[in-house]
Chain A
């Protein structure tokens, strides 16, 4: 990421076609207006020096020192009025141009940002394993800042600056082509120097950016884990690491500053050099009357204005390159195939993922869940996490998964809910292969309580409903009652409208887990999957939950992962897993009779303590 990835021609084209062009097309009117203003702006910028030249050569210099004020003041007044109007027009055009252009580019980017966000939400979970959230966030924020800058000021100002240069050069040739050629002799030097230094600036700029994002990422992690840092008195350790990363940023930024300062001074110096050289050359011609004073003055103005755009163009190019690399990152992200499960069957013509409600789905009842010799690895070259897992579960039945920690239980659930694809063997719901079932359909069949609880910022009711607009407050409350969360929610001053701190910071761990459980119950799917859903809950509460759920589970299908016997003993079928394999299966009685792994995993109470 430190250096801009070099895109080849075909990906460039693809990028322009898929990302840029649709945006441009949607906003073509505004963009066209802005583009139409460009030549006008260039023209007005060129006119004032020219009018000055006319005034000088035609009126002022011929009458210099003569005192014939009445003769000259009339025409000078006319010229000044004209020039005044030009200046006014220039202001109006510039303001209009900037405003329209920037509004259009902002609107384009807002569209694009929405698309990118929608896309990232649908990326496979494995993408989040490999890419820190901070770096995905950069795609949606910093890269967009660069893009905004690039679109708003890069593309069209490049055109504008080029046009201005052309206008100045045209005027200069018109006034005196030999002098123009002389000035142009300096151009290759200038262009070369600008190129060289700009390249160095860019190189270090990207290094600095990279270092900054590393440092920021680390800082973010430290802040998130500040409690751990403090409790382990590891402040100095963390500070030392942070300082190191900061130092890299400082170094790269300093380098970039050096080249930038050099570039700035060079352009300024060369402008002065050009003025001196021009005067030197012009001296002879002025004497012979080939060059008038007016021409000289106009040239001085033009040279100053000419070299400015040269520098600005190189800056525009830098801005554009930055925007381009932002665009490349975004393109790369948009080209990361989304989780196939999360893509609606038919995309609308625009290719934009719709934000609307669920599509109409035919809802057949769930009859069986079948795993057939399923194997899985997280990474192609990683260790197998599941191998040869087979089972079959009929609707209304209950399957329990037990196994040592790290044996692959949660992984199995992630496959079933299409959190990950790429398994071997076959997973079927009602004889339909899992990969042909969209996540939307799946969500109507399965609700999950994940092992890792996550609560969103918002109220408790928000967190239980999780955006399902069809749930009434009564239904939300009912779900909370089933999992015995109602009693504690009721005691909160605002009840279901109690604001949950980000990450559930103002609730106890067990309370947070109950809410996440209620969320799955509220979803009301026929198959409910519990991954250690009561791990942080006490036995009494657990028993109440079981009683509440017993009535709820009537006719429902359950897959439960638990280390606790209380949860698994009622299961019709229990799979005992070890290192990704099913080692034993059967019901509680059968497994106990085997006196194998199962017995070891679930029962260790001391004999003498039993009542």
Chain B
């Protein structure tokens, strides 16, 4: 979308308001410009001998007072009629941005950190709003006043007006330079402030590490650098402002001085009346606000244009996922029979295109099947999960559902069928209930379903100890929960919706064996027709899977049941040895006994 079309699209629906506003504005301006004329007439009437007719004079005064009162009303409305659409545009644009952002993919978010997007949503939309409200008003106001006032002035005296136009032109020129220069500083200032806030947020997020390592001076030095940048850029702006802002005010004052000399002599020569002199003076004063408005307008307009660019850079980013093909999606109606296939999948992150993280991986996930994924740190397990849920974009043709290529299915439909519990689950700073309900994506959740999920995720005992139970606030990112509680809430969240493939990425790393055992039997017991993919380092989690995939350095090095894998040399068998040699014989019976006694 081009800038012009963008602004036009914003204006759509507000034309009537702007039009009424402009009419109000025109009325206001006409009246306020009439007042000096009226004053001039009144004064010249006073200066005339014999004494003026009382009625004429009273009538003039009456007009002045009347206009003054009407102006208050029309001025108010004219301002509102310009500001309100600006605000509405801001409102609509914010929603539109979030909506669009929610269509964008990982690449976008890793290139644009949260802080910079927020600053666009707040500052840049502000820039647009100002353009659409204040900017347009200033434009109408300045254009009208600056064309009418000089006209009236010209009527009084062409020569004087020519004299005044030269300094005005010079003054506006100087200001223009100032505004242009200011713009780059302004940009730098916003940037440095952004960097500062990003840094501050990061420091607070890592506060535990900072404290326990007493890394204060490291953090503080970095902060001071950012803080110094902010100061420097701000001071530059202030200096420019100090230099350029008083220019107009002083220029108008200079014009008045010139008027005293040139206009005064004209009065002496009898070329203009004293009343005219006075009206001229008033017009000069009246030029000041629109002139200031004009420079302000230039400033706003410039800001609006850059803001539009920056916002368009979001809106013009194509959604990460294309629409689905209708025939392909038709094949997915109802439940799935063939499942999901991964065919010779090779994948590298864009930051390291030379080093594939997954290498020729093939895999079949049939309905009702449980597939375990095992592999050392960094072997590509999470990457595989993220490709299957389309958080990452797999190469075309490598993943199919029901025989239909992944790219031919809309992401909405895909994700209705595939649910993931991520390795580092994100919780919202809301209640436990809201966090679990979130899994239903806004659909209402029946209380029994909620209770069943809570039970299945072994959360009952924890919730019983929270004074507010399900309504307990979990804090930012779940800060007031224990590691295992977070994981289990994420698990409950994933149970809110039926799906065709459930993927659990190391879902039990922070829970004890006892809880793990109960969770596994629920998870495995939950299994009906959907496929389950479960990633873990623990043999105890994987052993009941129908098939276990061993990933090493991005390659599938072995595949088979638990029994088959422990019968052959390899990473899986090694791990199984290590994990089981730590368990004394007879562990099972003890566990069973303890289980009965304490839960």
- Is B204 an interface residue when CB atoms closer than 8 A count as contact? yes
Report Cα–Cα, A466/B42, bound state, in Å: 79
Please judge, given known A-B contacts A258-B80, A537-B537, A592-B584, whether A231 and B485 are in contact too, CB under 8 Å: no
Residues from chain A with Cβ under 8 Å of B273 in the complex = 64
- The size bracket of the interface on A is 35 or more
Asked whether A17 is an interface residue with its Cβ less than 8 Å from the other chain, the reply is no
Provide the B138-155 mask, 1 if CB < 8 A to any CB of A, else 0.
000000000000000000
In the bound assembly, the distance between CA atoms of A460 and B32 in angstroms comes to 67
A235 proximity list for chain B (CB < 8 A): 99, 102-103
Cα–Cα, bound, A247→B94 (Å): 11
CB distance A610 to B585 under 8 Å?
yes
B23 at the interface (CB under 8 A from A): no
Complex-state Cα separation, A71 to B277, whole angstroms: 20
- Asked if A121 and B210 make an inter-chain contact with CB atoms under 8 angstroms apart, the answer reads yes
Interface residues of A in 552-571 (CB under 8 A from B): 563-566, 569
List 12 interface pairs A-B (beta carbons < 8 Å), by A numbering: A98-B246, A110-B230, A223-B118, A229-B102, A232-B441, A232-B493, A233-B412, A270-B68, A468-B218, A532-B509, A535-B510, A599-B593
What residue in chain A is nearest B246 (Cβ atoms)?
A94
Residues of B within 8 A of A270 (CB): 68
Contacts of A456 in B (CB 8 A): 202, 206, 209
Are the CB atoms of A114 and B223 closer together than 8 Å? yes
Stretch at the interface among B108-116, B397-405, B524-532: B108-116
C-alpha spacing A505/B111, complex, angstroms: 12
- Asked if B247 CB lies within 8 Å of chain A CBs, one says yes
Give the complex CA separation of A77 and B261 in angstroms: 6
In the complex, the chain A residue whose C-beta lies closest to that of B520 is A604
Evaluate whether A64 and B270 lie within 8 angstroms (CB atoms) in the complex, with A227-B391, A600-B590 already known: yes
* Alpha-carbon distance between A108 and B212 when the two chains are bound, in angstroms: 31
The answer to whether the Cβ of B475 comes within 8 Å of any Cβ in the partner chain is: yes
With a CB–CB cut-off of 8 A, which chain A residues contact B106? 227
Q: Which residues of B contact A164 (CB under 8 A)?
A: none
The residue that B217 contacts in the complex, of A117, A356, A451, A452, with Cβ under 8 A, is A356
Residue among A120, A516, A578 facing the most chain B CB atoms (10 A cut-off): A120
State in angstroms the CA–CA spacing of A350 and B561 once bound together. Answer: 69
Interface string of B247-268 (1 = CB under 8 A from A): 1011001101110110011011
Q: A216–B253 Cα gap in the complex (Å)?
A: 44
The distance from the CB of A593 to the nearest CB of chain B, in whole angstroms, is 10
- Map CB proximity to B onto A172-195 as digits: 1 under 8 Å, 0 otherwise: 000000000000000000000000
Is B546 in the interface zone, CB < 8 Å from A? no
**Cross-interface CB contact of A293 among B246, B274, B587, cutoff 8 Å:** B274
Q: Check A599 against B587 for contact (C-beta < 8 Å).
A: yes
Per-residue contact bits, chain B 375-386, to A (CB 8 Å; 1 contact, 0 not): 111100010000
Tell me if B65 counts as interface (CB < 8 A to partner A). Answer: yes
Q: Tell whether A269 is near chain B: CB-to-CB under 8 Å.
A: yes
Distance between A543 CB and nearest chain B CB, rounded to angstroms:
6
Checking A118, A128, A133, A219 against B121 with a beta-carbon cut-off of 8 angstroms, the contacting residue is A219
Q: A604-B540, A604-B588 are in contact. Are A223 and B268 (CB under 8 A)?
A: no
Determine how close the nearest CB of chain B comes to the CB of A295; give it in whole angstroms.
12
**Is A459 among interface residues, defined by CB-CB distance under 8 A?**
no
From B193, B267, B422, residue with most partner A Cβ within 10 Å: B267
B115 nearest CB neighbor, chain A only: A220
* Interface status of A431 (Cβ within 8 A of chain B): no
* Contact flag A502-B202 (CB < 8 Å), given A110-B230, A223-B117, A514-B377: yes
A65 within 8 A of B: yes
B197 interface hit (Cβ, 8 Å): yes
8 A Cβ contacts from B181-211 to A: 193, 196-197, 200-211
State whether the Cβ of A509 lies closer than 8 Å to any Cβ in chain B.
yes
Does A234 count as interface, using CB distance less than 8 angstroms?
yes
Please tell me which one of the listed residues A128, A220, A596, A597 contacts residue B207 in the complex, with CB atoms under 8 A apart. Answer: A128
User: Most A CB atoms within 10 A — which of B61, B264, B426, B429?
Assistant: B264
Binds A, one of B82-90, B326-334, B340-348, B365-373: B82-90
Task: Report whether B71 and A265 are in contact in the complex, using a CB–CB cutoff of 8 Å.
Answer: yes
Q: Does A435 contact B (CB under 8 A)?
A: no
The answer to whether residues A141 and B424 also contact, given A76-B261, A383-B466 and a CB cut-off of 8 A, is no
Instruction: Judge if B296 is at the interface, Cβ distance under 8 Å.
Output: no
Residues of B contacting A543 in the complex (Cβ-Cβ under 8 angstroms): 578
Mask, B424-443, CB within 8 Å of A = 1, is 11101100000000110110
Which single residue of chain A is at the shortest CB-CB distance from B74?
Answer: A265
A25 to chain B, nearest CB (A): 19
CA of A549 to CA of B221, assembled, Å:
33
Distance, CA A283 to CA B412, complexed state (A): 79
A49 to B218, CA, bound (A): 59
Which single member of B39, B258, B481 contacts A275 (CB below 8 Å)? B39
Complex contacts, B389 vs chain A, CB 8 Å: 231
Q: Are A539 and B512 in contact (CB-based, < 8 A)?
A: no
Q: Flag if A595 contacts B67 (CB, 8 Å).
A: no
Chain A residues, CB < 8 A from B257: 48, 80, 83-84, 87
The answer on a CB contact under 8 Å between B207 and A121 is yes
Chain B residues positioned under 8 Å from A390 (CB to CB): none
Closest residue on chain A to residue B95 by CB atoms: A243
Q: Which segment, of A309-317, A322-330, A397-405, faces chain B?
A: A397-405
Given A76-B264, A599-B587, the answer on whether A114 and B209 have CB atoms closer than 8 Å is no
B258: chain A residues within 8 A (beta carbon): 80
Tell me which residues across on chain A come within 8 A of B197, comparing CB atoms: 137, 140-141
With A223-B109, A279-B42, A405-B482 in contact, do A610 and B513 touch (Cβ < 8 Å)? no
Whether B537 lies near A239 (C-beta < 8 A) is: no
Say whether B64 faces chain A, with CB atoms less than 8 Å apart. yes
Given A261-B83, A439-B214, are A137 and B75 neighbors across the interface (CB < 8 Å)?
A: no
A363 to chain B, nearest CB (A): 14
- Among A214-273, those with CB < 8 Å from B are 215-216, 219-240, 242-243, 246-247, 249-250, 253-254, 257-258, 261-262, 264-266, 268-270, 272-273
A406 an interface residue at 8 Å Cβ cutoff?
yes
Q: Is the CB of A565 within 8 A of B246?
A: no
C-alpha spacing A109/B196, complex, angstroms: 14
B450 part of interface (Cβ distance < 8 Å): no
Task: Tell me if A429 is interfacial: C-beta within 8 Å of chain B.
Answer: no
A65-B267, A69-B265, A564-B582 given. 8 additional CB < 8 A pairs? Answer: A121-B207, A219-B121, A239-B99, A276-B68, A451-B483, A488-B378, A502-B202, A596-B597
| B268-A128 in contact (CB<8A) | no
* Least CB separation from B97: chain A residue: A219
A166 within 8 A of B: no
Q: Which residue of A lies closest to B510 (CB)?
A: A535
Q: Given the interface contacts A64-B267, A508-B378, does A566 sit within 8 Å of B216 by beta carbon?
A: no
Contacting pair B285 A304 (CB below 8 A): yes
Q: Please tell me which one of the listed residues A230, A254, A539, A605 contacts residue B415 in the complex, with CB atoms under 8 A apart.
A: A230
By the criterion CB–CB under 8 Å, are B583 and A565 in contact? yes
Contact B76 A265, beta carbon cutoff 8 Å: yes
CA distance A114 to B223 in the complex (A): 8
User: Would you call B506 and A506 a contact (CB within 8 A)?
Assistant: no
Give the CA-CA distance A247 to B87 in the complex, in Å. 10
Closest-by-CB residue of B relative to A235 is B102
Question: Would you list which residues of chain A between 60 and 115 have a CB under 8 Å from chain B?
Answer: 60-61, 63-69, 72-73, 76-77, 79-80, 83-84, 87-88, 90-91, 94-99, 102-103, 106-107, 109-110, 113-114
Cβ contact of B268, chosen from A63, A88, A443, A488, cutoff 8 A: A63
What are the nearest 3 A-B pairs in CB distance?
A: A467-B218, A405-B484, A600-B594
Q: Known: A67-B269, A221-B429. Contact between A466 and B442, CB under 8 A? A: no
Task: Please tell me if the beta carbons of A607 and B438 are within 8 angstroms of each other in the complex.
Answer: no
B424:A509 contact, CB within 8 angstroms? yes
Whether B216 lies near A355 (C-beta < 8 A) is yes
A410 at the binding interface (Cβ < 8 Å): yes
B242 interfacial contact with A, CB 8 Å: yes
Q: A268-B72, A406-B485, A506-B349 are in contact. Are A279 and B580 (CB under 8 A)?
A: no
Complex Cα gap A277–B62 (Å)? 10
B390 to A: closest C-beta gap in Å: 9
* Those of A108-139 within 8 Å (CB) of chain B: 109-110, 113-114, 117-118, 120-122, 125, 128-129, 132-133, 136-137
